[in-house]
A = this chain, B = another copy of it.
Amino acid sequence: MPHLTLENVSLRYDGGAPVLSNVSLDIASGEFIVIVGRSGCGKTSLLNLAAGFLTPDSGRVLVDGRPVAGPGAERAVVFQNDALFPWLSTAENVAFAARLAGVAQAERRRQADRLLDIVGLAGLGDRPIWQLSGGQRQRVGLARALAADPAFLLMDEPLGALDAMTREGMQDLLLNAWHQSGAGTLLITHGVEEALYLATRIIVMAPAPGRIIRRLDVDFGRRRLAGESARSIKSSPTFVAAREDLLDSIFEREAA
């Protein structure tokens, strides 16, 4: 079973203060790990290390025990600002990896259509992506990441720019995509409810230097997959209590 492991990684940007200090984290297939923490505590830096966009100053990043040297197709990334390619059609965006690999146009199109179907965008393959709504674009970004059939899915606030209602719909889509692909998933969010609703495990980070201060296993997402309504989950007392608890960890609130 694939494992993506960060082993005691530390990081500082050129000449600056340490941004991450001795962080260890393991992501296995089937897990949905959500990182929360205040702005600037190093969440994005951590994800960029895992993705291979950054190299740690000390510590190691391993996939199945082997150190990684840069990004790799087994670790697909979904970006907050979708990072789609506006010069390509929706379908060509989804099939971008295939394009790089030199797969023929027709085959690329077949692949793209299958994935667009999965994310609920069947029939929009020929649209220029700048004619899609924010929520649709995030789906395309997800489809593009899933296209490579990755072992891991790394997502940095993928729903951050969406409005409340679209966001709720996308949460269920993420749950389903994770469930069906089985990819080990790492997601960053500012939404405490979102974290509770999606995660199998929540990682709370604290700033200066960025470090993990809490790990919390939850299972609301599995309850949702089992058929319970989002509304009943989110208003259940356990959920509300977990939410307050988590907010306390993040903001280290003094009980007022």
B231 lies within 8 A of A241 (CB): no
Contact residues in B for A255 (Cβ distance below 8 Å): 229, 231
State whether the Cβ of A105 lies closer than 8 Å to any Cβ in chain B.
no
In the complex, the count of this chain's copies comes to 2
Q: Which residues of B contact A38 (CB under 8 A)?
A: 163, 165
In angstroms, how far is the closest chain B Cβ from the Cβ of A94? Answer: 27
Q: Which of B190, B231, B235, B256 contacts A256 (CB 8 A)?
A: B231
Cβ–Cβ contact A253 & B231, under 8 A: yes
Interface centre among A163, A240, A248 (most CB of B within 10 A): A240
Q: Given that A163-B39, A164-B190, A190-B164 are known contacts, is A244 also in contact with B240, CB under 8 Å in the complex?
A: no
Q: Counting CB contacts under 8 A, is A218 at the interface?
A: no
* Contact flag A244-B231 (CB < 8 Å), given A165-B38, A190-B164, A251-B165: yes
Q: Could you tell me the distance between the alpha carbons of A241 and B229 in the complex, rounded to whole angstroms?
A: 15
Q: Is A118 an interface residue (CB 8 A)?
A: no
Judge whether A244 and B234 touch: CB under 8 Å.
Answer: yes
Given contacts A38-B165, A39-B163, A165-B38, contact A235 B240 (CB under 8 A): yes
Please tell me the size bucket of the interface on A.
20 to 34
A230 at interface (Cβ–Cβ under 8 A)? yes
Closest to A237 in B: B237
From 10 to 25 in chain A, residues with beta carbon under 8 angstroms from any chain B beta carbon are none
- Pick the contact of A241: B165, B235, B241 (CB < 8 A): B235
Q: Considering only CB atoms, which chain B residue lies closest to A191 in the complex?
A: B164
- Which residues does chain B contribute within 8 Å of A229, judged by CB atoms? 255-256
In A134-165, which residues have CB < 8 Å from any B CB?
Answer: 163-165
List chain A positions with a Cβ less than 8 A from chain B. 38-39, 163-165, 190, 229-231, 234-235, 237, 240-241, 243-244, 248, 251, 253, 255-256
Q: What are 10 A-B pairs at a CB distance below 8 A?
A: A39-B163, A163-B190, A164-B190, A165-B251, A230-B256, A231-B244, A231-B253, A231-B255, A231-B256, A234-B244
